[in-house]
Each structure stands twice: as structure tokens, then as C-alpha cells.
Structure 1
Amino acid sequence: MLVELVKVSKFPASPWLAQIQTPFGGTAVRWCGDQAAKPGKYHVEWTIDEDIAWGRNAKPAVGIGPGVRPGGHCVVLRGRLNLTVDGAAMLDFDGTQILLDLADPLPEGVADTWVELFIEREKIALYPYEL
């Protein structure tokens, strides 16, 4: 996914964070690239290092379409929830697939619906890469 890097910064007792913008919102998340990265456009891979538990950090979305925004101490990602034939869960985030680890099986009927994930910003990581 192509994102606009606004800045990379570090606060005491926290990892390096990137302030990013996308066409559908912006937020700050953990940055796993060059700490001296300059503002600009970067292709990134998203990872989530937190188990997804329906009703706790995953809920039906308010609205449709991809979205990203700050939500207090967490980041809110909105995307379409997909399940693979072998039971893995993926978040389709504007065409980018983010693998999800599930704490418990998902309830019936939530596959292929728009969901919002509420994840601590230090547990979402961006890995920049070059094409």
C-alpha cells in the first residue's frame, strides 16, 4: 500500500512511530523502516501483532469503505473481513491484505462484512519496501 509519511518520531518508552496519511485517513503507527526516513510516499506492508477478539477489539464497522483514524490510545482500521478456506482471517484494507491472528473463532455471518479493528498503535507496524 502506498502511504504518505509525514514524519517519524520517538517518544520515551515507545517505539519509533510514523505519522502517516492515506486517501481515507491518517494516524500514527510503529515504523519498522529507516528512522531517518524523509517525508514522502512509501510502499508499506502492514502487520498487526495483537490477537483479534470479536466484541473486544473487532466490531461491525460504522460505515463502509476503508478507513484509518486515531482512537485514543489505539488505531482504528476499517476494512472488509475475509476468511480463507483453511480458517485464516484477513483484513482487506483497500486492496492490501493484512493477516489476522484470532483469539477465538469468529461469530457466524461476519465474514465478508465491513469491520473496525481497535489496535494499540505500537502493535500495528509498517514495513516500507521498494518496488
Structure 2
Amino acid sequence: MLIELEVAKFPWSPWLAQIRTSFGGTAVRWCGDQTAEPGEYHVEWTVDEEIAWGRNAKPAVGVGPGVRPGGHCVVLRGRLDLTVDGAAVLDFDGTQILLDLADPLPEGVAGTWVELFIEREKIALYEVSP
């Protein structure tokens, strides 16, 4: 996924990236080059938190991808799907983010638009080649 990046470091946290996309922006953990200049980067997203329906995953208000700050967390909006082997994947504007589930999803949730509420330090961006 192509994002607009400005890297910032706060003394009490890991490297954070202030990012902008065509559908929103927020700050998340940056695992790329710590000397990266502001600009456009192709990135891969990872989520290092178990997804539990009703706790940090809920039906989306609206449709379409989205990313925004949500207090102490980041809100990701995408379409939640299951792979053939039962793994959960968030389709985030064509980018697939693999998710770990705390429990099986409720009936009828797969294929719907959802919002994930994830602590910003548990979302990471890795720079990838286009």
C-alpha cells in the first residue's frame, strides 16, 4: 500500500510514523528505516493483537477503507474475510492484513465491513519494494 509518511520519535514509545492515505491518517509504529525522509512509501501492515469480536472488532459505521486515531488506539476499517484454512484477513483497500483471532467469529461476520480498535504500538508498518 502506498502511504505518505513523516517519521517522528517520542521518548516513551517506539518509532512512530505519522501517515496519510487517501482514506485517512494516524500514527502507528514504523519498522522501516529510522532515517526515512518524509514522502511516499510502499508498506506492509501487521497487527500484533488478537482480535476479539465485540471487544476490539465491531461492525463498521459506513463502508470503504478507513484509518483514523481513536484515543489511545487506531481504528482500521476494512472488509473482514476468512481464508480457506480459517485464518482471518482484513482487506484494507486491497492490502491483506493477517489477523489472529481470540475466538471464532460470529456467524455472518465474514465478508462484512468492520472496524478494528488496535493500540498504535501493536500496528506496524514495514517498508516494501513496489
Please give the range of the TM-score, normalised by the shorter of the 2 chains: over 0.9
Q: 2:83: which partner in 1?
A: 84
The alpha carbon displacement at 1:10 in A equals 1.4
Query: TM-score when scaled to structure 2?
Result: 0.98
- What number of residue pairs does the alignment pair up? 130
**Structure 1: any 5+ residue segments left out of the alignment?**
none
Query: TM-score when scaled to structure 1?
Result: 0.98
Q: Deviations over 1:54-104 (max 9, x none)?
A: 000000000000000000000000000000111000000000000000000
The yes-or-no answer on 1:56 pairing with 2:55 is yes
Percent identity reads 85
Q: Deviations over 1:22-66 (max 9, x none)?
A: 000000000001111111110000000000000000000000000
Runs of 4+ in structure 1 off by over 4 angstroms are none
Structure 2 counterparts to residues 99-118 of structure 1, below 5 A: 99-118=98-117
Q: In the alignment, residue 22 of structure 1 is paired with which amino acid?
A: T
Cα distance in structure 2, aligned partners of 1:73 and 1:21: 18
The alpha carbon displacement at 1:13 in A equals 2.2
